Structure 1
Amino acid sequence: MGSTCARIAIDAMGGDNAPGEIVAGALRAREELGVEVLLVGDPQKIEAALPAKINLGQVQIVPAEGAIAMDEEALSSIRRKPKASINVAMDLVKQGQADAVISAGHSGAAMAAALLRLGRLPGIDRPAIGAVFPTIVASKQVLILDVGANVDCRPKFLEQFAVMGSIYSQYVLGVSEPKVGLLNIGEEDCKGNDAAVRAHQLLRENAQIAFIGNAEGRDVLSGQFDVIVCDGFVGNVLLKFAEAVGEVMLQIMREELPQGLRGQLGTAVLKPNLKRIKQRVDHAEHGGALLLGVDGICIISHGSSQAPSIFNAIRLAKEAVNNQVLQRIQSQYQSQPSGQVLPKTSQ
């Protein structure tokens, strides 16, 4: 893609704070990142969420009919509602009218819509949701995948996750030689269940990645690894636990800072440090998770996303587009996929 202007389709009706926060984040990204944003959803509700200073001629609104509610079953809902905002947004990517799609709505529906509308990349058996976690090493992050797309994984799937994650880590996160680990209950090669042992062997033999061994739970945030692979059941539990830890840390800091004038003075002095801490531990700062393995850039944001998180999701999508993540993954796999399978999802 080079330096071309990325066009991002935004599911403006998805998420707890839609469409107001979604629109606000998209408009900020349009101004600061130089991207084109296509707001997909109910035109009246989107227009009502626009600031008074914004001229309707300055924004692109793509009409859609309804959205997939969080309590609806993913697959049946996207088939029953072909004009829902997430389906229309995916179709824009499929038709080449957008380079990427972002949704803070029903994550299972977003994944199912991506599979049905965009399809899998050739050679990829299952897509994976990759989420970025902070580590104890300043400015270093670790990519965990899968964090919810596949409850059960074959060793072959984990191997593919490792290759896709390495490409993403290298070209989007800027890691020259990503170190890959397999989440397991011990460091030794023989640890874990049969699937883990077989996955370890596949990863060890794959020359496309820099596999350095098993990663125990205490190693996830150590900074030792750049990419860690696991099945979506474990990954989703890990993701939500990490989000809770970040929120707890921020809340403890607020409660423990002194009150009154002393507290105000202390907070003023510590403000730059507190801001950096928030940026490292707050999941909203990372924008969302990339669905790797489908034939299009798809970012799944947190359901409670507010404007800053949507802005960061768009930044993430722009980087994935400009760094040609899809093309780089596709170049690793030449075989054609067998029949399309929709994986189980965890919410």
Structure 2
Amino acid sequence: MINTIKKYLEEVELFTSQKAEDVEQFRIKYLGKKGILNDLFQKFKEVPNENKKEFGQLINNLKQSVTQKINFLKENVSDSIQSDIEEDLTRPGLALNLGSRHPINIVKHKIINIFKKIGFSVADGLEIEDDWHNFTALNMSEYHPARDMQDTFFIEKNPDMVLRTHTSSVQIRYMKQNEPPIRILSPGRVYRNEDISSRSHCMFHQIEGLYIDTDVSFADLKQTLQYFTSELFGKSEIRMRPSYFPFTEPSAEVDVYWGLETETDYRITKGTGWLEILGCGMVDPNVLKNVNINPEKYSGFAFGMGIERIVMLMYQIGDIRMFTENDIRMLQQFKYEF
């Protein structure tokens, strides 16, 4: 047995190769699970006691020799590979295929950052909502005609649960859990049972704002929205037309003066120069009562807009369906948008 180990030592000493495959086979032969060294360590217990010391030393020497030989050969193999490669340092590198953010996310974060500068924080909520938070608490009782304004997806197994039709439900939950002053934005997906076309979809994104404090007035609302349109569009001239929303009173639609400089401007503003961008109003006292906020002490305003509509205006995208079709050609246009 000892003579066999000595033969292995000679074999290791004489072995040489510059091929990585040969070095790997050599390693497996000696150091693998079924290799020579593993077999010798198993036979160690069969060696007579008087020979164990010499046998053990020879096995350790063999293991060290094999390890040193492998390390030496691996270095030579890698060096020979490097020496065979002639690199042209003037050659340009491979172009990186940059990813891009979705235009809806780009615009959403632009809007959030604008309002963060004046103290608004972000609140998130549930996309599957109960009837009370989605309708009743917002001044829409069970048979209120305003419910017909929003074609709703109801959960079949639980008619009291719906896919939220607006992110106003987030504001209700936040007001129930927090005392004024409140200044939040609630962005997110909303769902309405509408036919899908180039201008409408059953799933889209909204971002709504809410400000509740003492002595909040309609003038505060107008100044806030003038600041917003100036920051996002570079246009601060707005007009507010009377409208109706069940959760605000008085309510208004807000138009921004887009101008009539190009043919596209004439088309999207229908020749008026004015473009509707959002709805807003003072929070109805009944809504404050529903969330246990004293309307005698506090007042506030709310506003909301569809993000897709803003994106389509900013980037002149003519079909809302493009946002959900995952066409990489469309998304690649926004590589350098931040």
TM-score, scaled relative to structure 2: 0.26
- Comparing both chains, which one has the higher relative contact order based on Cα–Cα distances under 8 Å and sequence gaps of 6 or more? 1
> TM-score, with normalisation over the residues of structure 1?
0.25
